[in-house]
Amino acid sequence: MNHNLLVENFLEVLASEKGLSRNTLHSYKNDLDQFIDFIQKKNLELTKFKDRDIKEFISQFKDRGYERSTIARKISSLTHFFKFLLDEKEIKINPLRNFEIPKQTKKLPIILSSTHIDKILEFTKKDRSAPGIRLYTMIEILYATGIRVSELVEMKLSSVYEDKNFLLISGKGNKERLVPISKKTRRSLEKYLTIRNYFISGQDKSMWLFPSKQSSIGHITRQRFNQLLNQLNLDANLGIKRISPHKLRHAFATHLLENGMDLRSLQQILGHSDISTTQIYTHVLKERLKEIIKDNHPLSKVNLD
């Protein structure tokens, strides 16, 4: 039994039948590569795999201090893989059939305030070089639209839609949605487009909105964008532990809710398939509202003893 070939076939099925995103497929592949490495070192066969072997594989991540959410994802990857093997009749019994998946605890995102966002944009705008203009534009688009970082870096030039009033976003499962942008963001985008060729080699053409000469995939990568944000945080001395694309998305969502947007509209803009994903932002708001009432309501200042 060729284990690596089975993983390859499994990923092909996921890509063609499930329409999973590249990032999700990459996570599955990493998890399963670790798993195949484990069984090869142990000289184990998938046909004779037991639940105790699964426990041994998972325990190594617990011992290394991996987060519960990461361990749960690895178990999920294995669950889907063994179901595939069962469907393909490569195995007769699924060793994960009675395996308990650890419950994941939802972490509330740390939200950047509007003051933080203003400082980030103000500092970035001072850099009038081509890389500075690109970074400013990417940050503004992320905060102005709340799109995922993968959607940002993989955006095509043709995504600038209807005279730059909308961006056509290709989200998870290749689902497309139109996201409106403001006049301010539109002007920033127009300024960036005048220097976009700086990031293209010679007479080459690129379909990407944010091309890159250094990237083998043709556009700026998530990792590079993350590096630029972290360097910005250090250079600007913002007093923030860390800036990430996800924090900009969280700030976008929370600030809209604070200003009265309803959950259904926010769900559509964020591209969430399930509104329960969107509802995590309401938990953040509830805690903030409690503090506001505690600090400002007249009864909170009355001593009833």
- Do 46 and 156 belong together in one domain? no
Is 249 a known active-site residue?
A: yes
* Domain boundary residue, one of 87, 102, 134: 87
In a domain, 236, yes or no: yes
- Among 5-9, 145-149, 216-220, 248-252, top mean pLDDT goes to 216-220
Q: Is 98 within the bounds of a domain?
A: no
Region 51-64: mean pLDDT is 83
- The more confidently predicted of residues 247 and 124 is 124
Highest mean pLDDT, choosing among 91-100, 282-291, 295-304: 91-100
Position 245 pLDDT exceeds 50: yes
Active site residue 3: no
Q: How many domains does the chain have?
A: 2
Active site residue 68: no
Give me the long-range contacts of 11-14 (CB less than 8 A, separation at least 24): 13/84, 14/80
Percentage of the chain lying above the pLDDT 90 cut: 22
Are 221 and 131 members of one domain? yes
Residue 103 resides in a domain? no
Residue 275 in any domain: the answer is yes
Residue-level pLDDT at 110: 60
CATH code assigned at 46: 1.10.150.130
Q: Does 303 score more than 60 pLDDT?
A: no
Using the predicted structure, report yes or no on whether residue 304 has a pLDDT greater than 50.
no
Given 83, 156, 164, 246, the catalytic residue = 246
In a shared domain, residues 70 and 118: no
Residues 31 and 131 in one domain: no
More confident residue, 123 or 107: 123
pLDDT confidence tier of residue 283, bands split at 50, 70 and 90: low
Residue 32 pLDDT > 50: yes
User: Catalytic residue among 80, 219, 247, 249, which?
Assistant: 249
Is there a catalytic annotation at residue 50?
no
Identify whether 283 is a catalytic site residue: no
pLDDT at 305: 46
Measuring CA to CA, which residue among 183, 154, 191, 182 is closest to residue 169?
154
Inter-axis angle of helices 68-87 and 3-13, to 10 degrees?
A: 100
Same domain, 77 and 126: no
> Is residue 250 included in any domain, yes or no?
yes
Residues 143, 203, single domain; the answer is: yes
State which residues form the domain around 60: 3-87
The CATH number covering residue 264 comes to: 1.10.443.10
Residue 134 and residue 40 in one domain: no
For 225-236, what is each residue's pLDDT tens digit?
989 998 998 898
DSSP states of 213-262 as a string?
SS-TTSB--HHHHHHHHHHHHHHHT-S-S---HHHHHHHHHHHHHHTT--
Amino acid 124: pLDDT: 94
Assign 1 a pLDDT band (cuts: 50, 70, 90).
low
Whether 265 maps to a domain, the answer reads yes
Residues 201 and 288 in one domain: yes
Same domain for 70 and 122?
Answer: no
Is residue 214 situated within a structural domain?
yes
* CA–centroid distance for 23 within its chain: 9
Catalytic residue among 172, 177, 186, 224: 172
Is the distance from CB of 141 to CB of 189 less than 8 angstroms? yes
Q: Which of 51, 69, 87 is the last residue of a domain?
A: 87
- Which tens digit of pLDDT belongs to each residue from 187-204? 999 999 999 999 998 777
Between helices 245-258 and 114-125, what is the axis angle to 10°?
Answer: 130
Q: Are residues 136 and 242 located together in one domain of the fold?
A: yes
Do 79 and 224 share a structural domain?
A: no
pLDDT at 20: 64
Same domain, 54 and 134: no
Domain-ending residue, one of 71, 87, 103:
87
Say if residue 148's pLDDT is above 50.
yes
Q: Measured between alpha carbons, how far is 136 from 77 in angstroms, rounded to an integer?
A: 37
* 200 occurs within a structural domain: yes
- 261 pLDDT higher than 90: no
Considering the candidates 148, 219, 247, 255, report the single residue annotated as catalytic: 148
